[in-house]
Structure 1
Amino acid sequence: MVTATFRFYEELNDFLPRERRRREFDCPCARAATTKHMIEALGVPHTEVELVLVDGESVGFDHLIANGERVAVYPKFEALDITSLLRVREHPLRHVRFVADAHLGGLAHLLRMAGFDTLYDNNFDDREIAAISARDERIVLTRDRDLLKRRNITHGCYVRALKPRQQLHEIFGRLDLAGSIRPFSLCLDCNAPLHALAADVARSRAPPSVRARFTRYATCDICQRVFWEGSHWRRMRDLLDEVVGTATATPASE
């Protein structure tokens, strides 16, 4: 058995008991314990961690903790480029895409509205979500801390907000998504690409009141729904403008 000193920063403290938040504390560790093992044993999912410093040096999750070491654990940095320091993950994700757990259906729809490929099924269990994340290199979105501790999940985000609108604000701020949106490019229900539909074809599939007012349409090849820029579209557009404006003006911090 060895003893190391730990300190967690910013929102990572939310996962700790109150007596360990925002302060250094000593903790016994098994002789073969890695930083990943101890971080998760203390209650923090490894997917929430962006940087680990041991005695001031950046290390990976596989670092074996030695007696007397000081371990500082950091979440995502919003205002400081630390790319050259990062060692906790072998590869970054090439594309931002998500898989959401059963509690985040509303958020999944809003992310699709913003153009982010987001898999969601109310019947997905934790094992399926972890397998999908590993297979497709998807970021797991969840309110289940234990799910994020699964070994095969490399990228994940614990969602703190309770309402979909606030969740969208949170995810945009934490993952810096504002510059990557492609609004209304995916079907909200199917997660499939939308494509333009000729007005003469769309009019045969749209209500008379819509045919009289709109000339631009889109459709999904899976569900065959037809979309137009009506009042619902304008409300979604306003929400996206609000979220993007907030994320750009004020980087999120916990």
Structure 2
Amino acid sequence: MVTATFRFYQELSEFLPRERRGRTFAADCARRSTTKHMIEALGVPHTEVEMVLVNGAESGFDRMLEDGDHVAVYSRFALLEVGPHGGVGPERLRERARERMRFVADAHLGGLARLLRMAGYDTLYDNHYHDDDVADLAENDDRIVLTRDRELLKRRSIVHGCYIHALDPPQQLRELFGRLDLAGGARPFSLCLHCNLPLRAVDKASVLDRLPASVRALHDSFTTCDNCLRVYWKGSHYQRMAALLAALGQRSEGPLDDFADVESPEESDFHP
């Protein structure tokens, strides 16, 4: 058994017991423990860490800790890529090309997933996803995991992940936009909110029989999802969503329309 001292900075301290926040503390480590193992054993997922200093020198996650080591752990809301063997790679998530910013949200973040789709970001979500499903999708499809489950983010197979601190979906979206600088890559109203697939513009005449009478009278511009056949337009929810995007630094003008939609002909209910 060896003993090392640790200090976690910035929002990383939120993962610690209250008595360990904002201070240096000692912890016993099993022999041959790596920095990654101990950081996560103390409660902090590796995906939240930007930089680790051991005795003042920058360290990878695979360093074996020795007796008397001092470990300082930092985060700046900008993630490093963590290699499959725990080493720190060169790519910060917020510097990754925005077209590569694809997400998978766990079963508890459906509201955030829907808002990300609204902003045009490819986001997989199903409220039946188990943790294994999320991890597999992240690994096989190069997706960033979104979750409030720190244990999920500790899995070695998960290369990229973001622990979501906020509870309210609009605040979660604001948190993620700030963390990964997403505003510049947003394509509002370009994806189906239900299927996560691209929408396309359609003539009003081709969807006329699928529109409520009030919509027929007031709107002329429509888009549709070829998978579920929902139709979108600038309905009553548009201004609310446009205001949310504007607050995040993204104009809502684009080729596609709205959160208001009509279900496919097989479904009779209207869902705004």
The TM-score, its normalising length taken from structure 2, stands at 0.82
Q: Displacement, 1:147?
A: 1.0
Identical amino acids, percent of aligned pairs: 61
Paired with 1:77 and 1:98, the residues of 2 have a C-alpha distance of: 17
Paired with 1:181 and 1:100, the residues of 2 have a C-alpha distance of: 18
In structure 2, the residue corresponding to 1:231 is in which secondary structure? Answer: coil
After superposition, residues 27-42 of structure 1 pair within 5 angstroms as 27-42=27-42
Paired with 1:88 and 1:25, the residues of 2 have a C-alpha distance of: 24
Equivalent position of 1:250 in the other structure = none
Paired with 2:15 and 2:243, the residues of 1 have a C-alpha distance of: 34
Does the 8 A contact of 2:80 with 2:91 survive in 1?
no
Equivalent position of 1:244 in the other structure = 249
Paired with 1:57 and 1:137, the residues of 2 have a C-alpha distance of: 31
Paired with 2:30 and 2:89, the residues of 1 have a C-alpha distance of: 23
Tell which deviates more after alignment, 160-169 or 87-96.
87-96
Superposed CA offset, 1:44-82 (max 9, x none): 11111111112222222111112222211111356xx99
Residue 121 of structure 1 is aligned with which of 121, 126, 130? 126
Q: Displacement, 1:89?
A: 3.3
In structure 1, the residue corresponding to 2:249 is in which secondary structure? Answer: helix
Equivalent position of 1:102 in the other structure = 107
Does the 8 A contact of 1:172 with 1:178 survive in 2?
yes
Equivalent position of 1:213 in the other structure = 218
Q: Does 1:73 align with 2:73?
A: yes
Equivalent position of 1:9 in the other structure = 9
Does the 8 A contact of 2:166 with 2:175 survive in 1?
yes
Q: Displacement, 1:209?
A: 2.2
Equivalent position of 2:59 in the other structure = 59
Gaps of 5+ in 1: 246-254
Does the 8 A contact of 2:165 with 2:172 survive in 1?
yes
Q: Does 1:18 align with 2:23?
A: no
In structure 2, the residue corresponding to 1:52 is in which secondary structure? Answer: strand
Q: Displacement, 1:90?
A: 5.8
The TM-score, its normalising length taken from structure 1, stands at 0.88
Amino acid across the alignment from 2:42: L
Paired with 1:36 and 1:218, the residues of 2 have a C-alpha distance of: 47
Equivalent position of 1:252 in the other structure = none
Does the 8 A contact of 1:39 with 1:45 survive in 2?
yes
Structure with the bigger RCO (C-alpha within 8 Å, sep 6+) is: 1
Count residues in correspondence. 240
Does the 8 A contact of 1:12 with 1:48 survive in 2?
yes
Equivalent position of 2:142 in the other structure = 137
Equivalent position of 1:166 in the other structure = 171
Q: Displacement, 1:197?
A: 1.1
Gaps of 5+ in 2: 82-86, 251-272
In structure 2, the residue corresponding to 1:189 is in which secondary structure? Answer: coil
Paired with 1:66 and 1:218, the residues of 2 have a C-alpha distance of: 61
Tell which deviates more after alignment, 88-97 or 186-195.
88-97
Paired with 2:126 and 2:149, the residues of 1 have a C-alpha distance of: 16
In structure 2, the residue corresponding to 1:130 is in which secondary structure? Answer: helix
Paired with 1:219 and 1:20, the residues of 2 have a C-alpha distance of: 52
Does the 8 A contact of 1:89 with 1:154 survive in 2?
no
CA separation of 1:24 and 1:159: change in aligned 2, threshold 3 A: same
Tell which deviates more after alignment, 34-43 or 140-149.
140-149
In structure 2, the residue corresponding to 1:222 is in which secondary structure? Answer: coil
Does the 8 A contact of 1:172 with 1:244 survive in 2?
no
Paired with 2:137 and 2:76, the residues of 1 have a C-alpha distance of: 23
In structure 1, the residue corresponding to 2:120 is in which secondary structure? Answer: coil
Paired with 1:115 and 1:243, the residues of 2 have a C-alpha distance of: 14
